[in-house]
Amino acid sequence: MKKTLVIVLALLLGTAVRAQSDDRGFEIAKNLEIFASVYKNLNLNYVDDVDPGKTIKTAIDAMLSSLDPYTNYYAESQMEDVKLQLLGQYGGVGATIMQRGDSVYIADPYEGMPAAEAGIKAGDRIVAVNGESTSGKTTADVSSAMRGQAGTDVVLKLEREGKVFDRTVTRREIKLPNVPYYGYVGDDQNIGYIKLDEFTNDAAANVRSAFVSLKKEKPGMKGIILDLRGNGGGLMNEAVDIVNIWVPRGQLIVETKGKVASKNMKSYTRLAPEDTEIPVAVLIDGNSASASEIVSGSLQDLDRAVIVGQRSYGKGLVQNILPMAYNSQMKVTVSKYYIPSGRCIQAIDYTHRDENGKAVKVPDSLKTAFKTKGGRTVYDGFGIEPDVEVEPEYMSNIAIALAQKFLVFDYATDFYRSHKSIAPATEFEISDEMYADFCRYLKEKGLSYNTVTERVIKQLRDVAKEERYDEAIEQQLKEMEVRLASEKESDLVKHREEICEMLKGEILDRYYYDRGRIEGALRTDKVIHRAIKELTK
């Protein structure tokens, strides 16, 4: 009887599964037919011609946007963007560009790349690309025109100091360095420092090579700092191999779990480590995501490193690239990842939305406690919480205005054109004379900006007028405005340290490129100073 009952239940279950599968299949077929019918009628009846590629791409993007921001479709024309995301390389001239009004400018040519070798400088306005004017075009339009197959030429018409000239640049395969800088920090220069920007191909090999070089140069090195601030992630295998530099072979680092059980996997360290004893600090912030969180989270779970900075982004989702018809591709979220303690650090639940359609954060009530290898308590659901938190520094109103109005950028450009050389990046500082000159420059340019307080006063005046209290409080509002104006006049003094750091970084970038900017910032970086303190306790 029991055997018969089991068989009947199994048959019923199988029938239910098949029925559910058939229902789902019917729903898919029905809705695909509806979609095709909608487009067919649009094509036949809409008053203007409908671009099939553009319209269908819009429909696909809208469908995917209802899932998560990491599931995307890429047409054949976007393959260079995909290559840049995955490999950190593309065919182009090697320079970043920026929008200023209706014009596009060179923001930063990369050291040793075709643009820099052709004499193109930061601040050059791009007038035309291959004879086509850039007026009114976006940075995406201009970037697309400048990119292309390695070995081909692109003609750039540029303007510098009122003079227009052409530069013919031969495109190359541009591979951005994932480790733009490594060196030593600390008063005794005995703490190693490695900056990692992206988890692209060979990231682990480059971090390992940098660590080996640092240790070889200074065998008595007292600690190592891995800087993952601003690092949005990349390839998971590179993250595992980076952890492996300081963790023994055979250690579970990350496990992925998704809908398709056969694709679930566990990733272990597979190489001999370089050093399992040296103190390690990992720097993170709110823009450290994905692979950055695998590295920082697993080293935290294994009690192998101290994590310093601010809470990370909280991206615990794994994507796969799937080839599609007509040389297009699709990036799909296929699983979640779990670090050694068993926790997933995904902070946003994309399956649930609020009344405005916005994905919600995992509530505190659903966060679960886990234990590190040494028994410390850590939590899932909201990124990696640093062991040592350093309060983030926010830009002042005047600093924001100087950046938005490109005044620091333009001053650095003018400074570079009138000064052949400066001190090395490790020594260069903004002198009193230079800062006074910058202040004169701002006066000539007529610097003006609004503070949050000024905006609040204006809002208060508008509300008071609506409620007919304006006459009663107008005198107090005017007095507040006068005091605020007086305070603003001293902003260049109050925020001198912050502004000098901005100036220093921009000027160093002109002479020594990105490496110089990083090197110059190390001496005053408060997060690095705190990491050094932790490593030398």
* E runs forming strands in 271-362: 280-284, 306-309, 317-323, 329-338, 348-353, 359-361
What pLDDT sits at residue 18?
Answer: 56
Residues 385 and 237 in one domain: yes
Residues 383 and 401 in one domain: no
Residue 367 counted as domain residue: yes
What pLDDT sits at residue 20?
Answer: 56
Residues 58 and 24 in one domain: yes
User: Residue 147 is part of a domain; what is its CATH number?
Assistant: 2.30.42.10
Residues 256 and 197 in one domain: yes
Q: Beta strand pairing status for 125-129 and 103-109? A: antiparallel
The rounded distance, in Å, linking the Cα atoms of 216 and 236 is 28
Residue 4 counted as domain residue: no
Residue 43 counted as domain residue: yes
Residues 371 and 276 in one domain: yes
Cα–Cα distance list, 423 to 114, 410, 431 (Å) = 26, 20, 12
What pLDDT sits at residue 363?
Answer: 75
Residues 23 and 122 in one domain: no
The number of folded domains in the chain is 4
338, 361, 389 — which closes off a domain? 389
Residue 154 counted as domain residue: yes
Residues labelled catalytic: 290, 301, 315
Residues 214 and 313 in one domain: yes
Residue the block writes with tokens 């610097």: 447
Residue 104 counted as domain residue: yes
What pLDDT sits at residue 17?
Answer: 47
Would the pTM of this model clear 0.75, i.e. be above it? yes
What pLDDT sits at residue 86?
Answer: 61
Q: What pLDDT digit, counting tens, does each position of 187-244 carry?
A: 899 999 999 999 999 999 999 999 999 999 999 999 999 999 999 999 999 999 999 9
Residue 197 counted as domain residue: yes
Which residues does 9 contact at the CB level (< 8 Å), separation at least 6?
A: none
In sign, the C-alpha dihedral spanning 122, 414, 394, 527 is: positive
Rounded percentage of the chain residues whose pLDDT exceeds 70: 94
Residue 2 counted as domain residue: no
Residues 429 and 384 in one domain: no
Residues 133 and 205 in one domain: no
| H or E element in which residue 255 lies | strand 252-258
Residues 190 and 270 in one domain: yes
Pair 193, 225: CB distance under 8 Å = yes
Could you tell me which residues are beta bridge partners of residue 91?
Answer: 173
The rounded distance, in Å, linking the Cα atoms of 508 and 471 is 53
Residues 255 and 346 in one domain: yes
DSSP state of 481: H
Residue 320 counted as domain residue: yes
The rounded distance, in Å, linking the Cα atoms of 143 and 150 is 15
In sign, the C-alpha dihedral spanning 489, 494, 496, 498 is: negative
Q: What pLDDT digit, counting tens, does each position of 396-451 carry?
A: 999 999 999 999 999 999 999 999 999 999 999 999 999 999 999 999 998 888 87
389, 411, 429 — which closes off a domain? 389
Spatial CA neighbour of 57 closest among 77, 40, 27, 43: 77
Pair 315, 233: CB distance under 8 Å = yes
**Which parts of the chain have pLDDT scores under 50?**
1-2, 5-6, 8-9, 12, 17
159, 175, 191 — which closes off a domain? 175
Domain extent at residue 207: 181-389
Residues 39 and 111 in one domain: no
